[in-house]
């Protein structure tokens, strides 16, 4: 299926690993030019080199997005290199365990900077280019905003706000034709997820307990499945879809997790 994305330019924040890297691979496979915006220079450059060797066009912008100035500079660098922005995929973030009891107000605010503020700043600074090229935005949220998790107030608050901002931006940007949607993963095997599993006394047992609660197939969602949903939302095939929150989670959130 031709998604109509060939030659378009996408920014993927946190694009060097995990879900972000899967989105980058899917986007380049569709002929997009992709700017990986990530703080990890070594991993970003190595990943970009692999993609370039396969004939894809990839740029790397090294940035820590915890300040508005860093976001503005990252967007400006992409525009300078590529001349346009057709898609912004806000993905960077970390489930950092800043809880109500375990975290301080200052740590909560810092968690919002790591997981929420740059979504607004990147969209704000990319908006002129997105408007010029009638682009669109896909925000990556999390089931934690819907289900809760315990011990991660900062991350949950950020992801809930991202879902709300998706609807708000979709309304605000209707007059300029920019579509805004969200993809909401639940349990996806990524390097960060593997690190979290490793903190348990029995990682294999913990994983089995988790997948037993995923109704469809009793398996983890793959990062490639998240990426496929993102690419569909970016494409002309979803040209009349905006303000939507797409759960790609094997029914984890909306079906009874006790189903066996």
Cα 97 from Cα 114, distance rounded (Å) = 12
Q: Of 230, 255, 225, 252, which Cα lies nearest the Cα of 241? A: 230
Task: Provide the total of helices (H) and of strands (E) in the chain, helices listed first.
Answer: 10, 7
Cα 35 from Cα 20, distance rounded (Å) = 11
Which pair of structure tokens corresponds to residue 48?
């970009």
The packing angle between helices 203-211 and 191-198, to 10°, is: 120
119, 155, 193, 252: the catalytic one is: 155
CA angle 139, 22, 150 (to 5 degrees): 55
E runs forming strands in the chain? 9-13, 33-38, 58-62, 87-90, 136-140, 179-185, 245-248
Q: Say whether 252 is catalytic.
A: no
Q: Of 184, 63, 177, which Cα lies nearest the Cα of 122? A: 63
The packing angle between helices 18-29 and 41-53, to 10°, is: 20
**Residues labelled as active-site residues:** 155
């Amino acid at each position: 299926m031709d998604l109509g994305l060939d030659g378009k330019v996408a920014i993927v924040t946190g694009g060097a690993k995990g879900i972000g890297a899967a989105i980058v691979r899917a986007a380049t496979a569709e002929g997009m030019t992709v700017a990986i915006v990530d703080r990890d220079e070594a991993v970003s450059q190595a990943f970009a080199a692999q993609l370039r060797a396969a004939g894809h066009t990839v740029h790397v912008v090294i940035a820590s997005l915890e300040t508005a100035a860093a976001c503005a500079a990252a967007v400006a660098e992409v525009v300078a290199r590529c001349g346009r922005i057709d898609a912004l995929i806000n993905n960077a973030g970390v489930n950092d365990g800043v809880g109500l009891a375990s975290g301080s107000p200052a740590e909560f605010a810092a968690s919002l900077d790591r997981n929420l503020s740059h979504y607004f700043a990147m969209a704000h600074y990319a908006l002129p280019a997105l408007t010029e090229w009638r682009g669109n935005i896909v925000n990556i949220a999390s089931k934690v905003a819907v289900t809760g998790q315990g011990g991660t107030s900062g991350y949950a608050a950020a992801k809930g706000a991202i879902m709300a901002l998706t609807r708000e931006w979709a309304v605000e940007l209707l007059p300029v034709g920019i579509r805004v949607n969200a993809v909401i993963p639940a349990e996806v095997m990524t390097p960060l997820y593997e690190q979290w599993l490793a903190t348990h006394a029995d990682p294999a047992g913990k994983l089995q307990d988790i997948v037993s609660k995923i109704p469809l197939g009793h398996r983890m969602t793959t990062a490639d499945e998240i990426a496929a949903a993102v690419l569909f939302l970016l494409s002309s095939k979803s040209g009349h879809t905006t303000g939507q929150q797409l759960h790609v989670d094997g029914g984890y959130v909306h079906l009874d997790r006790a189903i066996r």
